[in-house]
Structure formats: C-alpha cells, structure tokens
Amino acid sequence: MNNLTSIIIFGLLMSIASLSGRIIMFFRKQTQTILLLPLIAFSAGSLIGGAFFLMIPAGLHSFDNIKTFFLYLIAGFSLFFILEQFLHVHHCKKAESDCRKPMSYLILIGGGLHTLVGGISIAGLFIIDFRIGFLAWLGAVFHEIPRGFGDFAVLVHSGWEKKRALLYNFFSSLTFLIGGLITYFISSKIDISFLIPFAAGNFIYIGATDLIPEVNKHTTLKNNVIHFLFFAIGIFLMFALSYGHNH
C-alpha cells in the first residue's frame, strides 16, 4: 500500500469513525454518562501514551538538535491552544450542554480546523513510518469517538435536526483527509520530519487540557478510580503497541 492510498483510506476511515460517536446519542442519558466519561479517560491515556511512548522516542532519532525537536513539540501544543483560545470552541463532552446556536457554527469550524491539523500531522507520520502513522491514527480514533459525540450533541441541543447535524459533522470530519492530502503533496518539496514532534505536541495538548479536565469534575471515589483505570489502560495500550517498534 503506497503513501497516497494509505492517507486516503485512513482519512476516510477517520471520518466514518467520527460518526460512531453519534451512536451514543441514541442511548438513555444515564447510559451515555456511564459510557462516555470512561471513554474520554481512555482517549486521554491513549493520546498521551502515544506521544510519550511512540512519537517522542521515534522522532528524537530524526533530529541532531534536541532543542529544535522540542521547539516543534511546543509549537504543536501551542497551535491547539491558540485554536481554542481564539475560536472560543470548547468540545462539549456531555449530552447536557449550555452551548447555544451561535456556538454550533463555531463547533463545526473549530472541529474542522482541529481535524485538519490532525490530518496534516498524522499523514506526515504515515509517510515517515507507516507503523508510527497507524498507531498515531489509532490514538486519534479513540479521541474522535467522544469528541464526535460531544459536537453532535451541541448541534442537536442548538436546534439542529439530527440528520442535518450528522451530515454537517461528517463534512467537518473530512478535513482530516484534506489535511492528509496537503501533507502528501508537499512532502516531496519539504522535509516533513518536524511533523513527528508537532503531532506529539497536538496529542499532549488534547489529552492533558481538553480531555483530562472532563473526567476530573467528578468527586466520588468510585468514579475517580474507574476513570483513572481507563486512563491507565489507554497509556498501557500505547506502551504495548509501541514496544516492538522502539526495541
């Protein structure tokens, strides 16, 4: 499978995966809560684990200057911080959302930019090393399911019909493929090795500042233990998957 084929196939699969998060919307609210928060914790663990056990060790081998490597990592982290600050987009993870109609369009714009950057970064990983790209893509899928549910919930609670919300969310998720194609066509002209630390910075930001705060809002010991266990499972999964690559 060549790079272009991989980018197209996995880009389309990401868009399909984003739709799977909407399935939770049709469950009872109690079931949504039971399923969603552990899934968010697992997603946070898989993203952070992927960054520290997969991307950072692999990327360090491509850089002679370690400081340059970490500058790109900080750039990847900072870009998502800027996107959320200036678009004022918060990816609501709960069915009960205070977001209103004007915010619904920002959710689509912010979500589209979010997946565009993800597509650019992960396509670069596919081109550099297919296995790194696949594992990073897998971590992104784990994130896309709860994010997709949250965005869909915001649109529905803003008054959108479910079919329309589903269609527009799908179009928004296609920016992942667009980002991947952009990377493919520029990869022959510039060195894209910087996308490894850049993607690691993306993953750390999303996991640590977007997802973990969602599961830290609950005070019961039982919930805290469950959420931490799912977080740890996500980290361990990425450690196990990356172990063979780094050794």
Q: Give the per-residue pLDDT at 98.
A: 47
User: What residues contact 122, with CB distance under 8 A and at least 6 apart?
Assistant: 10, 133, 136, 137, 140, 176, 180, 199
Q: Give the per-residue pLDDT at 100.
A: 46
- 59 or 86, greater pLDDT: 59
Burial of 70 (0-12, 13-18, 19+ CB in 10 A): middle
Residue 33, domain member (yes or no): no
Residue 203, domain member (yes or no): yes
Domain containing residue 120? 65-216
Q: Give the per-residue pLDDT at 48.
A: 95
Residue 76, domain member (yes or no): yes
Q: What is the mean pLDDT of residues 60-83?
A: 91
Q: Give the per-residue pLDDT at 220.
A: 83
Q: Give the per-residue pLDDT at 88.
A: 56
**CA 27, 153, 40 angle in degrees (round to 5)?**
75
Residue 118 confidence (pLDDT) above 60:
yes
Residue 223, domain member (yes or no): no
> End-to-end CA distance of the chain, in Å?
25
Residue 79, domain member (yes or no): yes
Residue 24 confidence (pLDDT) above 80:
no
pLDDT band at 165 (very low <50, low <70, confident <90, very high): confident
Q: Give the per-residue pLDDT at 92.
A: 47
Residue 11, domain member (yes or no): no
Residue 81, domain member (yes or no): yes
Q: How many structural domains comprise the chain?
A: 1
Residue 72, domain member (yes or no): yes
